[in-house]
Amino acid sequence: MAKPLTDGERRKQISVRGLAGLGDVAEVRKSFNRHLHFTLVKDRNVATRRDYYLALAHTVRDHLVGRWIRTQQHYYERDPKRIYYLSLEFYMGRTLQNTMVNLGLQNACDEAIYQLGLDLEELEEIEEDAGLGNGGLGRLAACFLDSMATLGLAAYGYGIRYEFGIFNQKIVNGWQVEEADDWLRYGNPWEKARPEYMLPVHFYGRVEHSPEGVCWLDTQVVLAMPYDTPVPGYKNDTVNTMRLWSAKAPNDFKLHDFNVGGYIEAVLDRNLAENISRVLYPNDNFFEGKELRLKQEYFVVAATLQDIIRRFKSSKFGCRDPVRTSFETFPDKVAIQLNDTHPALAIPELMRILVDVEKVDWDKAWEITRKTCAYTNHTVLPEALERWPVSMFEKLLPRHLEIVYAINQRHLDHVAALFPGDVDRLRRMSVIEEGDCKRINMAHLCVIGSHAVNGVARIHSEIVKQSVFKDFYELEPEKFQNKTNGITPRRWLLLCNPGLADIIVERIGEGFLTDLSQLKKLLQLLSDEALIRDVAQVKQENKVKFSAFLEKEYGVKVNPSSMFDVHVKRIHEYKRQLLNCLHVVTLYNRIKKDPAQAFVPRTVMIGGKAAPGYHMAKMIIKLVTSIGDVVNHDPVVGDRLKVIFLENYRVSLAEKVIPAADLSQQISTAGTEASGTGNMKFMLNGALTIGTMDGANVEMAEEAGAENLFIFGLRVEDVEALDQKGYNAWEYYDSLPELRQAVDQISSGFFSPREPDCFKGVVDMLLNHDRFKVFADYEAYMECQARVDQLYRNPKEWTKKVIRNIACSGKFSSDRTIMEYARDIWGVEPSALKTPPPSLPRD
């Protein structure tokens, strides 16, 4: 087979990446050499690979700075309504290539670096991922920032600059081992510290009520130091800001506490304050009620709100005073979007500032707060809902507890007036949950304190209205909306799959990159032989390239002509990696039973991190690696079946594996996955989906036609009916011989001969307390996988379905999602206005 073009060679043929004009190339080379010489090497003779990477990063950054300053100046002059996206997670991945793509610099840089005898792709691999997120929620925030900048919205991402992001995953003897992610070890060329905007954040203390008002006294102060990262829009000269806060101890920290001679200890204790921004909590869809986490949540909210109010007061436009004094117009100038309940404290904190500090009366302050805030719900799993113990809350944030009680009292008075005598409804709708440990239900606080509440896919938003927040929906139905998630086509097509992007541009032009619905134009070319050939060829090249990567990085050899069957996401029982395992074991058994039969060769790749404290998730990883150990070394199987666990799945690995996938597994129990966004990435990159009617899969099937996905299994209604009846796993075990064989093998130690009892706990869960009904979908899943094999045997028909899926994926752009947020929730219109480029003189 012909060796595929390298990405570098291919880039030279690609118009979308910006033509490499000779002037641009010369300019990049000059700038690169200047950075290499002056900012890095200085007194060293020899440059390292990292020096080259940093020189390029600084060169590209230089192109951002003028646009960044101009954009912010532009906002100050126009004074538009500003959007503040508050999130405890921003899963950004790498920045270099994304910046080159969005600035149209990729070809110029590629050519310049090539002329200097270096390889751009090799330099890109040196950059650490910014892993400041766990999974979907944090990656969604990153895609949203890209879309908001591309749509010209005056938007800001606010979060925490964790010193350690999501842990690095090592697999040792088949088990997950966590390693600290010291991503800042070599510095971060993309951030700019802004010490001039440092702000105090208060904790603990006591509250004093007097005729003059309320005072929060004797607090501990931690300083919030902002670090700004530029967020460039796609070829529109807009550069927005992501501002992440880092915790600093004040210089007098603990030194005024009578400690005679305790000076050294006092300085060492600065660590306690600075621990707030030390590490990302590694839980996905699980609430762990730790005080440090509550501190993180208040820290980001308190610093951000001070910043928002400073910016509101000092804005120049339509205001005679040097500063605004009235908060009447606050909701017309500020929108705060809460990414899940993690930043819910923004509601009582804004109330505290308005009432205690700015002396606005309560009812007015509450009206302003509600008009300003909106809440996005991301999960219906009860174990994920944040419920903080009142005792912890009272110690850490005494004034906020009073405010929450006051909000709740007024809310319950309102409900009681509408539903007299319905005490059970009052109990269900209270922000305070009574019981042995009184708790604050943060989701209830968000719903009450927001003017809009949205789910993240149509089916999820219906579940939100009909079960999770049913009582609240009955009270204010107009508040509840749907905003189906999306992904940025810049990172998730143009950047990660240049070959596919190029053949699309050849057919329909490049307008689809900012209006993904234009992919629909490909529907007219479904039978175009050349397109079918090109799409299949690009997929094959991506598979060959990923195979080479697997061999180089992990020493695993895979057959690039096998079906790449990919299941990558956080490891969780509800995502049902175990169902995939049962399919693999059954396939293995069928090959062993009848080795002469013709099988469609498969390489099954499963990847994802397990929360360190989630025992079952760690057992699932061990099961996958154990099955792989047996299957991959069985000579009877050969290369018809391989099982690979993809170690340390993260954004930069997703960018490699997704373009190479043939089959995308999205097999959560119906009603559990709020949306999913990986599903959309695979669809856009030419994989077919096997999945349940859950999350955004429902809308993907609607867009492409259900017959163009492999849909199987229980629907939400069936799951509910089965719950009513009572799910009994043993019925399936007893009546399905292939299932029984697979389960018995796992249980008996066939896949763990050295520890025969290793997976007894997993099987016990599946048989006796499986909340996610793995066995109930086994039969339908096996039949559906047989249909997958059947279609894969006909490459042309397979590729036609692939093209139809790509053509129908336009709805799933985060540009569309953000446009809906802007119009329906934030009350702003996306601006087609290009920011004047820095080269133009200002008026």
Please tell me the CATH superfamily of domain 498-812, with its number.
Glycogen Phosphorylase B; (3.40.50.2000)
Report the C-alpha dihedral over residues 564, 568, 573, 579, rounded to 10 degrees.
-10
Quickly list H helices, 87-186.
96-103, 106-115, 120-124, 136-150
What does the pLDDT read at residue 42? 65
Exactly one of 11, 248, 460, 575 is catalytic; name it. 575
> Which of 836, 837, 652, 829 lies closest to 148 in space, CA to CA?
829
Residue 835 falls in the annotated catalytic set? no
pLDDT along the chain (843 residues), means of 10: 61 57 85 88 79 97 96 94 98 98 95 96 97 97 98 98 98 98 98 98 98 96 98 97 97 75 88 97 90 98 98 71 81 98 98 97 98 97 96 98 98 98 97 96 98 98 97 98 98 97 96 97 97 98 97 92 98 98 98 97 98 97 98 96 98 98 98 98 98 98 98 98 98 98 98 98 98 98 98 98 98 98 96 66 46
- R_g of the chain, CA atoms, integer Å: 28
CB 651 within 8 A of CB 91: yes
Can you tell me whether residue 163 is helix, strand or coil?
coil
Q: Provide the pLDDT for residue 554.
A: 86
**Which listed residue (238, 484, 677, 817) is catalytic?**
677
User: Active site includes 567?
Assistant: no
Q: What is the per-residue pLDDT for 842?
A: 44
- Bridge partners of residue 441, in order along the sequence: 387
All structural domains of the chain with their residue ranges: 14-78+99-126, 498-812
Cα separation, 124 vs 109, in Å, equals 12
The DSSP-derived string for 627-644 is HHHHHTT-TTTTTSEEEE
The yes-or-no answer on residue 479 being catalytic is no
Adjacent-strand bridge partners of 404: none
Give the distance, in angstroms, between the CA of residue 163 and the centroid of all CA atoms in the same chain.
Answer: 18
> Could you give the CA distance from residue 694 to residue 673 in angstroms, rounded to a whole number?
6
- What is the rounded CA–CA span in Å between residue 385 and residue 378? 10
Helix (H) or strand (E) holding 363: helix 362-372
- Alpha-carbon distance of 843 to 841, in angstroms, equals 7
- 3-state SS, 461-476, equals HHHHHHHHCHHHHHHC
- The pLDDT assigned to 40 comes to 64
Cα atoms found within 13 Å of the Cα of residue 532, Cβ hemisphere only: 14
b/e burial code for range 144-169 (CB count within 10 A of at least 16 → b): bbbbbbbbbbbbbbbbbbbbbbbbbb
Give the integer Cα–Cα distance in Å for 657 and 823: 35
Which of 773, 740, 791, 753 has its CA nearest to residue 582?
740
Q: In whole angstroms, give the CA distance from residue 688 to residue 800.
A: 11
- Catalytic choice (61, 570, 602, 800): 570
Of these residues, 248, 295, 333, 378, which one is catalytic?
A: 378
Which listed residue (11, 67, 491, 569) is catalytic? 569
The yes-or-no answer on residue 681 being catalytic is yes
- The pLDDT value given to residue 836: 67
Q: Is 677 a catalytic residue?
A: yes
Out of 295, 483, 681, 800, which one is annotated catalytic?
Answer: 681
Q: Which two tokens stand for residue 385?
A: 């809902």
Please classify residue 627 by burial: count the beta carbons closer than 10 Å to its beta carbon, then call 0-12 exposed, 13-18 middle and 19+ buried.
buried
Is 324 part of the annotated catalytic residue set?
Answer: no
